[in-house]
């Protein structure tokens, strides 16, 4: 007999913006599905639009994650990353992975996206020829830039220009190769394209225009491009950015009807019952969309269809483009190339670097191009979509010049936008959603709107329009300064210093107490502010505040690093990288007992047990009988050491003993961000002190202390803070620096960013030169260290605490 309470199974193939955007809409409408997501990449959902920022180094991969792993867990979604679906049995309603695993479904959504169009020319398969669609491509380019110096990007559209800008930032001599004489020929006219090209040349990008690539030269690795006119261009790296192709092969092989993309009807249904497609992989009424806004519009209709909520059909999207290309705002909608049938209204200002062109057929507005200033983009997009006629009033709105509107304040145009009109194309946020939030939920700042809807969190191009909506909706209540004020998250406009000061002044001791007293917009806070407040409370009141587990990130709650396949890694602590035969036997026994997939030596001189099941975590720690290495936490991770004077013929100081002493001292101490240390026994620096938060180098006269290093994506060499003669002085300086950092850094701010923000001299004054202040800092650190114990032992010993640890933490509960 069927179980009437059984949830229907929804499987999503594709973990990108279109698919997860659809899931977000479904979750707002119903919780009736048991959801499983398969993504081919080893990451949770991230913002593909911001890949260029990762490439150029201004953002990390973590910065562009839109839904981290805790979001999937808190919403009951089973996420499988690094898992490619290779077959769909539409008769049996089951999907199969490349590894042979399978899952059945009641409803299936295909959101397989697109792939780069690879020019069919000889040599396209050589090493060093790649596309630009994912994080792996970014990593390939970053690595190539370390060894090679000449790059070519084939394609002068948005993707190619962003790739080129990133490669220039990486120090490569970069040339954009374009078949046409103008850039972005599908969106821009000759004037605006010329202005864009001139600006990008000022930024260091070279161009080879009107060039058709006929071959890529070289043996195993590419060495250059050969053009149809016989000329050649040297290149050690070639990026294909000449277009995209819908990724429809899986659907086609599974008997689902395809043409260029996966064919869908007006409700995104494919030719197979209960199978839907959304995003760049699908073809609707003969059109495959490559921009983000149409994908969200499709997702909204599909979510309502699947949730059995009445909805109007999807009839297609208006193709207007508003982009930020390498710091330049560009807008294009409708027709952009004038012909004899057009009347042209134009304003070109080389001094300000702006250009505005509006095309009319008769008096009807049929197209527009904006460069440099896109304030009028919403007004023009709507006018083109609705086929409005140009009037004296509208002309004055767009071009000024007096007339009947002289003396009137310039309208933003947002008042006439339809509620369903998209404001944020990157995240599919409509005007109606924003206005409703402002009126009914009290959203009074851009940051609040960003936190609640995602608008402005991606490319930022919609920020002026969001500000205009705030001003329009609030009217006289609008406070421009308050609207732009940035808090620690969208739940508040208060910054770190204001929150910490109020906690001290009012002696607040609980997370929810802080949010209540300070008037949080969201009573339960969010995954960004709850951990921050919990840290600030523990830092200020180390004895009074009881750590609040439900305000910690999932890795910290579960005491293990969640991996791409939803298993966990367990890292026992090995002080200073030193272990013993007994510890190694324990680790080997545990690895056998719990069928650990891999045992790996980490960069921090420890052993990492990978592939641990969530339910085995308490037992595996109990069997190990070793403290956690906190490989998941905002705390001390490792103290890396060389063998030092105990064994090395060059060693002048006992780095092993000092490293172990420091690690014993600071383990379990919560920090604003993860914290790494290293101790070298001599200046040969085998333990790599120069890229650690605190790096220590021994010499004949004592120790030299370095701070603020970072060996990650944002590489930064540590600064020399001071030299000391004794071990006692070394520990004192480390104590004082750590406490100064704990008290003054923003939550999640690494020491590399902290030292740059406050300045090395300020750090040196507080930690080294102000001896009275240093004693106070050391005293506060001693107070924080007093009574610390490994919380994992509580979990192992106390069943009630263990159950609390595994309780899902969801806002509102």
Residue 799 has pLDDT above 50, yes or no: no
* Percentage of residues of the chain with pLDDT beyond 90: 59
More confident residue, 502 or 296: 502
* pLDDT tens per residue across span 649-679: 888 999 999 999 999 999 989 999 999 999 9
Give the position of tokens 């909204």. 300
Do 254 and 235 share a domain, yes or no? no
Task: Give the chain's mean pLDDT.
Answer: 88
pLDDT: which is higher, 439 or 737? 737
Report the range out of 301-310, 479-488, 557-566, 788-797 with the highest average pLDDT: 301-310
Could you tell me the residue range of the domain that residue 406 belongs to? 320-411
Helix residue ranges, H only, 444-509: 446-453, 463-474, 480-484, 496-506
- Does position 804 have pLDDT exceeding 80, yes or no? no
Could you say which of 591, 606, 628 is where a domain stops?
Answer: 628
Whether 806 maps to a domain, the answer reads no
Residues 251 and 138 in one domain: no
- Kindly state whether residue 42 falls inside one of the protein's structural domains: yes
- 458 and 503 both lie in a single domain: no
637 lies in some domain? yes
Q: What is the mean predicted confidence (pLDDT) over 441-467? A: 77
What CATH number is given to the structural domain containing 567? 3.90.480.10
pLDDT at residue 403 greater than cutoff 60:
no
- Label residue 560 by pLDDT band (50, 70, 90): confident
Co-location of 728 and 778 in the same domain: yes
- b/e sequence 632-655, b meaning 16+ C-beta within 10 Å: bbbbbbbbbbbbbbeebeebbbbb
* Mean local confidence (pLDDT), 720-739: 96
**pLDDT attached to residue 735:** 97
Report yes or no on 799 lying in a domain.
Answer: no
| 450, 463 contact by CB (below 8 A) | no
Sheet holding 364-371, edge to edge: 320-325, 328-334, 364-371, 354-361, 343-349
Q: How far apart are CA 501 and CA 492, in angstroms?
A: 15
Q: Which residues contact 374 (CB under 8 A, 6 or more apart)?
A: 322, 329, 330, 331, 461, 464
The per-residue DSSP string of 258-273 comes to: BSSSEEE-TT-B-SST
- The CATH number of the domain holding residue 74 is 3.50.50.60
Residues above pLDDT 70, as percent of the chain = 91
For residue 702, give the CATH number of its domain.
3.30.413.10
526: annotated binding-site residue? no
Question: 236 and 258: one domain?
Answer: no
User: 777 and 644 share a domain?
Assistant: yes
* 96 in the same domain as 20: yes
* Segment of 230-239, 371-380, 482-491 carrying the highest mean pLDDT: 230-239
Domain count, the chain: 7
Tell me whether residue 417 is in a domain. Answer: no
Q: Is 505 left (phi over 0), alpha (psi -120 to 50) or beta?
A: alpha
Size of the chain in residues: 813
CB 317 within 8 A of CB 285: no
Note the pLDDT of residue 240.
96
Task: Tell whether 371 is covered by a domain.
Answer: yes
Classify residue 503: in a domain, yes or no: yes
pLDDT band, very low/low/confident/very high, at 491 (cuts 50, 70, 90)? confident
Same domain, yes or no: 557 and 539: no
452 marked ligand binding residue: no
Residue 789: predicted pLDDT? 57
Residue 770 confidence (pLDDT): 95
Q: Looking at the structure, do residues 768 and 684 belong to the same domain, yes or no?
A: yes
Counting DSSP H helices and E strands in the chain, the numbers are 28, 36
Report the distance separating Cα 598 and Cα 596, nearest Å: 6
Highest mean pLDDT among 271-275, 379-383, 808-812: 271-275
Q: Which of 43-47, 330-334, 784-788 has the lowest mean pLDDT?
A: 784-788
| Helix or strand run (H / E) with residue 678 | strand 675-680
pLDDT at 4: 52
Please write the tens of the pLDDT for every residue from 96-155.
999 889 999 999 999 999 999 999 999 999 999 999 999 999 999 999 999 999 999 999
Q: What is the CATH number of the domain that holds 443?
A: 1.10.10.1100
Please, are residues 318 and 333 in contact by the beta-carbon 8 Å criterion? Answer: yes
Residue at a domain's end among 628, 661, 690: 628
Angle at 614 between CA 609 and CA 616, to 5 degrees: 70
Residue 424 annotated as part of some ligand binding site: no
Report which secondary-structure segment, H or E, holds 438.
Answer: helix 431-440
pTM for the whole thing?
A: 0.65
pLDDT score of 630: 87
Gap between the Cα atoms of 406 and 414, Å rounded: 20
Task: Return the higher-pLDDT residue of 63 and 71.
Answer: 71
Q: What pLDDT sits at residue 114? A: 95
pLDDT at 459: 62
Mean pLDDT across the stretch 194-202? 93
Q: How does pLDDT run across 22-33, given as a tens digit for each residue?
A: 999 999 999 999
Same domain? 529 vs 570:
no
Structure tokens at 167: 């490669």
Q: Is the pLDDT of residue 223 over 90?
A: yes
Looking at residue 483, what is its pLDDT?
60
Q: Over 70: is that where the pLDDT of 798 sits?
A: no
Tell me, what's the pLDDT at 52? 85
Does position 56 have pLDDT exceeding 60, yes or no?
yes
> Both 767 and 645 in a single domain?
yes
Q: Is 705 among the domain residues?
A: yes
How far the first Cα of the chain sits from its last, in Å, is: 34
CA separation for the pair 140, 146 (Å, rounded): 10
Beta-carbon count within 10 A of 624 CB = 19
Q: Is 489 labelled a binding residue?
A: no
Q: What average pLDDT does the segment 730-734 reach? A: 97
Residues 100 and 183 in one domain: no
pLDDT of residue 321: 74
End position of a domain, from candidates 505, 533, 552? 552
Find, among 668, 672, 694, 673, the residue nearest to 784 by Cα. Answer: 668
Q: What is the pLDDT of residue 167?
A: 94
């Amino acid at each position: 007999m069927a179980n009437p309470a059984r949830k229907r199974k929804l499987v999503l193939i594709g973990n990108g913006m279109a698919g997860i955007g659809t899931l977000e809409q479904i979750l707002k409408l119903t919780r009736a599905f048991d959801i499983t997501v398969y993504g081919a990449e080893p990451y949770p959902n991230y913002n593909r639009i911001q890949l260029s920022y990762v490439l150029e180094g201004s953002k990390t991969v973590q910065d562009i994650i839109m839904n981290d792993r805790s979001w999937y867990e808190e919403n009951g979604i089973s996420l499988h990353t690094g898992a490619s679906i290779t077959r769909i049995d539409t008769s049996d309603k089951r999907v199969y992975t490349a590894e042979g695993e399978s899952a059945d479904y009641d409803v299936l959504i295909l959101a397989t996206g697109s792939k780069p169009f690879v020019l069919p020319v000889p040599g396209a398969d050589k090493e060093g020829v790649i596309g630009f669609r994912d994080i792996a491509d970014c990593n390939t380019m970053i690595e190539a830039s370390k060894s090679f110096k000449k790059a070519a990007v084939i394609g002068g559209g948005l993707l190619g220009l962003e790739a080129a800008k990133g490669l220039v930032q990486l120090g490569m001599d970069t040339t954009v190769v374009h078949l046409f004489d103008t850039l972005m020929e599908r969106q821009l006219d000759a004037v605006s394209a010329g202005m864009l090209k001139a600006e990008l040349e000022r930024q260091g990008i070279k161009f080879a225009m009107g060039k058709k690539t006929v071959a890529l030269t070289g043996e195993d690795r590419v060495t250059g491009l050969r053009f149809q006119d016989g000329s050649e261009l040297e290149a050690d790296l070639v990026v294909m950015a000449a277009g995209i192709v819908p990724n429809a092969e899986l659907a086609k092989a599974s008997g689902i009807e395809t043409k260029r993309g996966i064919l869908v009807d007006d409700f995104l249904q494919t030719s197979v019952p209960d199978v839907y497609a959304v995003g760049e992989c699908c073809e609707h009424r003969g059109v495959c969309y490559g921009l983000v806004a149409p994908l969200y519009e499709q997702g909204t209709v599909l979510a309502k269809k699947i949730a059995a909520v009445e909805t109007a059909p999807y009839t297609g999207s208006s193709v207007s483009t508003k982009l930020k290309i390498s710091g330049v705002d560009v807008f294009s909608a409708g027709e952009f190339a004038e012909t004899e049938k057009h009347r042209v209204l134009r304003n070109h200002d080389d001094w300000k670097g702006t250009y505005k062109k509006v095309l009319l057929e008769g008096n009807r507005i049929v197209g527009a191009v904006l460069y440099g200033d896109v304030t009028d983009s919403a007004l023009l997009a709507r006018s083109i979509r609705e086929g409005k006629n140009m009037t004296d009033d509208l002309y004055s709105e767009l071009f000024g010049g007096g007339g009947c509107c002289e003396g009137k304040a310039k309208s933003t145009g947002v008042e006439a936008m339809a509620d369903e009109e998209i404001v944020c194309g990157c995240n599919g946020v409509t005007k109606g959603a924003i206005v409703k939030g402002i009126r009914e939920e009290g959203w009074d700042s851009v940051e609040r709107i960003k936190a609640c809807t995602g608008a402005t969190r991606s490319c930022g191009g919609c920020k002026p329009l969001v500000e205009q909506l705030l001003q329009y909706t609030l009217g006289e209540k609008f406070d421009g300064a308050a609207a732009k004020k940035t808090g620690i998250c969208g739940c508040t406009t208060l910054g770190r210093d204001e929150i910490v000061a109020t906690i001290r002044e009012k002696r607040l001791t609980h997370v929810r107490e802080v949010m209540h007293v300070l008037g949080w917009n969201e009573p339960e806070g969010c995954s960004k502010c709850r951990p921050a407040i919990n840290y600030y409370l523990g830092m200020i009141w180390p004895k009074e505040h009881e750590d609040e587990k439900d305000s910690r990130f999932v890795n910290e709650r579960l005491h293990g690093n969640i991996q791409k396949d939803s298993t966990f890694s367990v890292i026992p602590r090995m002080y200073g990288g030193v272990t013993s035969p007994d510890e190694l036997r324990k680790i080997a026994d545990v690895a056998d007992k719990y069928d650990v997939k891999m045992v790996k030596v980490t960069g921090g001189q420890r052993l990492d047990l990978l592939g641990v099941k969530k339910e085995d975590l308490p037992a595996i720690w109990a069997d190990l009988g070793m403290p956690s290495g906190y490989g998941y936490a905002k705390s001390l991770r490792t103290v890396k050491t060389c063998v030092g004077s105990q064994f090395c013929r060059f060693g002048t100081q006992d780095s092993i003993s000092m490293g172990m002493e420091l690690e014993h001292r600071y383990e379990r101490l919560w920090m604003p961000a993860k914290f790494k240390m290293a101790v070298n026994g001599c200046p040969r620096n085998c333990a790599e002190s120069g890229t650690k938060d605190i790096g220590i180098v021994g010499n004949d006269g004592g120790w030299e202390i370095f701070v603020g290093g970072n060996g990650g994506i944002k590489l930064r060499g540590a600064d020399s803070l001071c030299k000391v003669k004794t071990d006692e002085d070394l520990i004192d300086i480390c104590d004082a620096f750590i406490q100064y950092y704990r008290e003054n850094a923003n939550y999640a701010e690494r020491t590399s960013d902290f030292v740059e923000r406050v300045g090395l001299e300020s750090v040196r004054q507080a930690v080294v030169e102000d001896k009275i202040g240093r004693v106070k800092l050391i005293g506060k650190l001693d107070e924080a260290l007093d009574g610390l114990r490994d919380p994992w032992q509580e979990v192992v010993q106390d069943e009630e605490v263990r159950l609390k640890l595994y309780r899902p933490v969801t806002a509102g509960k």
